[in-house]
Chains A and B, each alone.
Chain A
């Protein structure tokens, strides 16, 4: 079974631009979560989508948004990029059960650099 895929793997943007990242979950997984990883803040939860609905969100400004399509693929958008948005963005998929044991499997990440 193919793992979680993320595209693109690397991105370079300038301040003020916007960017869209894509995530394809493992086949059969209906939940997609997004995380931002930086050396200073570590791994921070952005949001989770399940059946095209945002089910959970972290403490990020409204510039960060996402959506999920009917095939469970998800996109994350960051508008008006700031230097501090430079990070590794990780996507994780899971079956989507609401129990504690719903294990998330991660993709390789998209490394975003904002100049």
Chain B
């Protein structure tokens, strides 16, 4: 089973509107971290926001917020007031405890969602 599932291969949103990008995850750990990254066409992955499994508040960073529903194992990214520059691939990632053969937490990525912001 996939660790991180992003069910929306592509999303469209009008400029200045809000958009939600879905992410569900699968883990049996109680302690884990969830990250969202943005990848423009240039290729560089840009860190957006982090949510810890024990954080009681949903994370927010400027126009980005995370709708974290632990019982449903979902961590959806909400982008408010979309801008043309938000057009990019968005990746959800999870950091969890190391398995055998590793000594540090690994970061596992979903397949990504391509967001297109229309003027």
A binding-site residues for B, Cβ under 8 Å? 31, 33, 35, 42-43, 45, 48, 50, 55-58, 88, 90, 92, 98-109, 111
B42→A56 contact, CB < 8 A? no
Does B105 belong to the interface (CB within 8 Å)?
Answer: yes
Q: Is the interface of A mostly helix, strand, loop or mixed?
A: strand
A55→B37 contact, CB < 8 A? no
A105→B104 contact, CB < 8 A? no
On whether A106 and B45 interact (CB within 8 A), knowing A55-B103, A56-B104, A101-B50, the answer reads yes
Does B69 belong to the interface (CB within 8 Å)?
Answer: no
**How far, in whole Å, are A57 and B106 apart by their CA atoms in the complex?**
9
A42→B111 contact, CB < 8 A? yes
Given contacts A57-B101, A106-B47, 20 further A-B contacts (CB under 8 A): A42-B110, A43-B91, A45-B106, A45-B107, A45-B108, A55-B103, A55-B104, A88-B43, A92-B45, A98-B104, A98-B105, A100-B52, A100-B96, A101-B33, A103-B35, A104-B107, A106-B44, A106-B45, A108-B42, A109-B43
**How far, in whole Å, are A100 and B35 apart by their CA atoms in the complex?**
10
**CB proximity of A2 to chain B, nearest CB, Å:** 13
